[in-house]
Amino acid sequence: MGAVATEFTYVTNKVKRPGFYNYDAGPDAPDVAPETKRYPVEVTDIRDLIGELDLDKEGLKVVYLHTRATDLYDPEQVKSIYYKEVQKLVKQATGANSVLVFDYNIRNQSLAEQPGIQKPVTFVHNDYTNASGPQRVRDLIGGDKAEALIGKRFAVINVWKPITGPVMTSPLGVCDASSMRQDDFIETDLLYRDRNGEIYSVAWRPEHRWLYVSEMKSDEVMLLKCYDSDLGGRARFTAHSAFDLPDVDGVPPRESIEVRTLAFF
């Protein structure tokens, strides 16, 4: 188990509420982009410790999945085959009573101009907040059923997996949730033409402990805790970001799929 010296991009302005436009807002739109700074960070390779990781402590867990899908770039295979596998996987890994799979992203730097494929995200963030976690349940389920589910414990678990392996560039770094404080997280707007969402950007602290799994293979899956409604001491949010490895010229770009799920307890 070793460490990699790299840099992560954090948000620095905690006074102005930052945001990102996810559409062409035009030149007259207010400038809401956050101020950022790259900080030197050491990322610990936890490959030898993956069996000890805990979603309720570090906020991540690594498990194995041999998918029956033959092409994860095919939306039909993702939704008809992979979604069911992920649903079963998250239910087993968390002990949830039920799991709803609702969204996914494909990331590949070299194919990012194609529809449905994006670049790896290279700033420190968490996908949900105290407000947007419950709102996601309301948006997907709605009505009295959503309110009943929100009244009990639920969590947003992201399921991240290489499409091809081993991952030799732009691996996913995860900040150990036990090294973070709530005031590290900064509410950040995602601005769409017809709606607004909310994520957490993150402010730097030297105590943050960054982790990654070296050379992840296509049958290795990382579960990330992006929201947990339980206030009883479990990890609730997990900051993460792609990062640069040294001396990786000439290797293929990282190809990965990230599926978002709601786990109800």
Q: List the one residue out of 122, 217, 105 whose CA is nearest residue 163.
A: 217
C-beta of residue 219 within 8 angstroms of C-beta of residue 82: no
CA 131 to chain CA mean position, Å: 17
Record the tokens describing residue 66, joined without a space: 């041999």
Q: For residue 76, give the DSSP letter.
A: H
- Specify the amino acid at residue 95: G
Residue 148 confidence (pLDDT): 97
Record the tokens describing residue 17, joined without a space: 């509420």
For the domain covering 3-264, report its CATH number: 2.60.120
C-beta of residue 190 within 8 angstroms of C-beta of residue 21: no
Cα separation, 133 vs 128, whole angstroms: 5
Residue 67 confidence (pLDDT): 97
Per-residue pLDDT of the chain (265 residues; tens, 9 = 90+): 689 999 999 999 777 889 888 888 888 888 888 899 999 999 999 999 999 999 999 999 999 999 999 999 999 999 999 999 999 999 999 999 999 999 999 999 888 888 889 999 999 999 999 999 999 999 999 999 999 999 999 999 999 999 999 999 999 999 999 999 999 999 999 988 888 889 999 999 999 999 999 999 999 999 999 999 999 999 999 999 999 998 777 788 999 999 999 999 9
